Amino acid sequence: MNIDFIRQAVVSNKYEVSQHAERERLNDDLSIVDIENAIQTGEIIEDYPDDPRGASCLVLGWASDDRPVHLVVGFLPNGWIRIVTVYVPEPRKWEPDWKTRKRGGRK
């Protein structure tokens, strides 16, 4: 997984947002600009190379208003990426660095 590849896909508009990610984006009051900003400012914090739906990774980045944002990014065979889900992480589930899950913490 390579953050530069993900960033380039966004800059080139070679990405799609899943229906699930769209619902989550709206639930957390995130804009498309927030998603793009999170990727441009982000870093990969977890890799999921063996995901049965295809290789993906978890990116931590920042919304335009400085909220932390987590995005699961999948890689498509055509060279595009898919935003599988996106959310503002919950403090009760993540350490203050937003990179480390608290014991027993899932999204």
pLDDT in tens, 25-79: 999 999 999 999 999 999 999 999 998 888 999 999 999 999 999 999 999 999 9
Domain count across the chain: 1
- Considering the domain boundaries, does residue 99 fall inside one? no
- Considering the domain boundaries, does residue 77 fall inside one? yes
pTM: 0.92
Coil vs helix vs strand at 30: coil
- Considering the domain boundaries, does residue 105 fall inside one? no
- Considering the domain boundaries, does residue 72 fall inside one? yes
- Give whole-number Cα distances, 19 to 1, 2, 67, 84, in Å: 23, 24, 22, 8
- Considering the domain boundaries, does residue 8 fall inside one? yes
- Considering the domain boundaries, does residue 82 fall inside one? yes
Range of the domain at 22: 3-87
- Considering the domain boundaries, does residue 96 fall inside one? no
